[in-house]
Amino acid sequence: MLLGIDQLSQLTKKLKGKRIGLLCHAASVNSRCVHILDLVGAKGTPSPVTAHRPPITVARLFAPEHGLWAVAQDMESVEGTKDPTTGLPVISLYGSDFESLKPKKEMLSGLDAVICDLQDAGSRYYTFVYSIAFMMQACREAGIPVYVLDRPNPINGSDVEGGIVQKGFESFVGLFPISNRHGMTVGELAWMFNEAFEIYSDLTIVKMKGWKRKAYQDEMGVPWVLPSPNMPTLDTAIVYPGMCLLEATELSEGRGTTRPFEIFGAPFIEPEHLAGRLADFNLKGTFFRPLYFKPMFQKFAGQVCGGLQIHVTDRKTFRPYLTGLAVLKAVIDLYPSQFRWREKPYEFVREIPAIDLLTGSERFRNELKKGRSWKEIRKDYEEGKSSFIRLRRNYLLY
């Protein structure tokens, strides 16, 4: 198959002699793992693929959360800098407040177009698609076109799970009313953002060729390059739509271990006890293995935690978002006096609890507070999904 980046030649005639801004990161590689900065000759050397420097002049780089080379941790402010490999200025689109996420007019000054090439993880919380949305808004205001190089949804483009973001709960982990697991590509989301959510930029999607909607990334022969420090493998991305919910708590989501989001727990958790409780929920496609672990940074750094590791045994029946909700329900059932929600600001939002931002409303948190049963919670955990699916159909490119 061919990724959008594999078809950069489609743009060279349009962009010859133009000054280009490039929104990219460490995972902006082609199907042979060659980085886009090499492909466009931005390092001042011949392209290792085309053996000549393509006629695209990259004048400025833009970096999303985690920075250009994915070295910053989650929610870590990144300063603008100069890229040591190219000498080009790098403008950070993840600073110290919400406004820092949006490109300013002066940042686009002198540019003729912007190319966006970011790898998504298939989950609404993953912030890169919103960096593209903000770039589209800024380019519309500046009157310059945007080109999005499409990439696969790594956890397939078929399965949709979870409810949508309700009005008043928008944030950088849910800027628009889409499901937690959206089943769309970066290009499809950009098209939806542009039309359904009225950005109206001058947008071009460079489509993939040969991608199959129902395939996971490893089934298409596309290499996995970690797009952020705690998304090291495809296995991580598969569980992320549910296990990211633990960021809204004081439980460890496994950051500081070699299997983030697959491993989780806290010093007060008894692994066998929790595994037994989750077995009562009859979750499909997964096995919870009791274990102890010691995070090397972030929550409970240096402390031994009891917890579980999620082993996905059947991708087809596994529901990551439902599993994440079940984990929270089980921990609260067993350890009500020790469990704590995150109280610190989350993605620059102070007024709304992080769990409400991630689930898209206050419903789940309130249901837990009321002591509702797992059966009751499970019954209506996908509020708004059907409306999203109807909208989504209009923006599928493959």
Q: How far is CA 284 from CA 148, 235, 320, in A?
A: 36, 16, 10
Strand pairing report for 89-92 and 57-63? parallel
Take residue 155 and report the two structure tokens written for it. 């956890």
Q: What is the pLDDT of residue 53?
A: 53
Q: How far is CA 142 from CA 102, 109, 145, 148, 287, in A?
A: 13, 8, 9, 17, 51
Average pLDDT over residues 301-324: 98
Average pLDDT over residues 152-159: 98
- Does 41 have pLDDT greater than 80? no
CB neighbours of residue 237 within 10 Å: 26
- Does 118 have pLDDT greater than 90? yes
Mean pLDDT of the chain: 95
Phi and psi dihedrals of 59, rounded to 5? -100, -20
Give residue 233's pLDDT band: very low, low, confident or very high (50, 70, 90): very high
Is 328:359 a contact under the CB 8 Å cutoff?
no
Is 93:62 a contact under the CB 8 Å cutoff?
yes
Average pLDDT over residues 347-372: 97
Q: What is the pLDDT of residue 143?
A: 98
Read off the pLDDT of residues 126-137 as tens digits, 9 standing for 90 and up. Answer: 999 999 999 999
Strand pairing report for 305-312 and 263-266? antiparallel
- Does 4 have pLDDT greater than 90? yes
For 244, half-sphere exposure in the C-beta direction (CA atoms, 13 angstrom radius) is 28
Average pLDDT over residues 296-307: 98
Q: Where in the chain is the domain with CATH 3.90.1150.140?
A: 234-361
Q: What is the pLDDT of residue 333?
A: 97
- Does 59 have pLDDT greater than 80? yes
Strand pairing report for 203-206 and 81-82? unpaired
For 271, half-sphere exposure in the C-beta direction (CA atoms, 13 angstrom radius) is 15
- Does 56 have pLDDT greater than 70? yes
Report d(CA 253, CA 240) in Å as an integer.
10
Average pLDDT over residues 322-328: 98
From the options 3.90.1150.140, 3.30.565.10, 3.10.450.710, 1.10.3720.10, give the CATH code of 234-361.
3.90.1150.140
Report d(CA 105, CA 5) in Å as an integer.
27
| Higher-confidence position of 250 and 17 | 250
What is the sign of the dihedral through the CA atoms of 181, 378, 230 and 72? positive
Read off the pLDDT of residues 80-116 as tens digits, 9 standing for 90 and up. Answer: 999 998 999 999 999 999 999 999 999 999 999 999 9
Average pLDDT over residues 200-215: 97
Q: What is the CATH number of domain 5-225?
A: 3.40.50.12170
Q: Where in the chain is the domain with CATH 3.40.50.12170?
A: 5-225
User: Which range is least confidently modeled, 46-55, 155-164, 275-284?
Assistant: 46-55
- Does 54 have pLDDT greater than 80? no
Read off the pLDDT of residues 243-286 as tens digits, 9 standing for 90 and up. Answer: 999 999 999 999 999 999 999 999 999 999 999 999 999 999 99
Is 23:132 a contact under the CB 8 Å cutoff?
yes
- Identity of the amino acid at 38: D
- Does 48 have pLDDT greater than 90? no
Average pLDDT over residues 185-214: 98
Take residue 333 and report the two structure tokens written for it. 């059932």
Is 65:257 a contact under the CB 8 Å cutoff?
no
| Residue 219 CB partners (closer than 8 Å, separation 6+) | 212
- Identity of the amino acid at 41: G
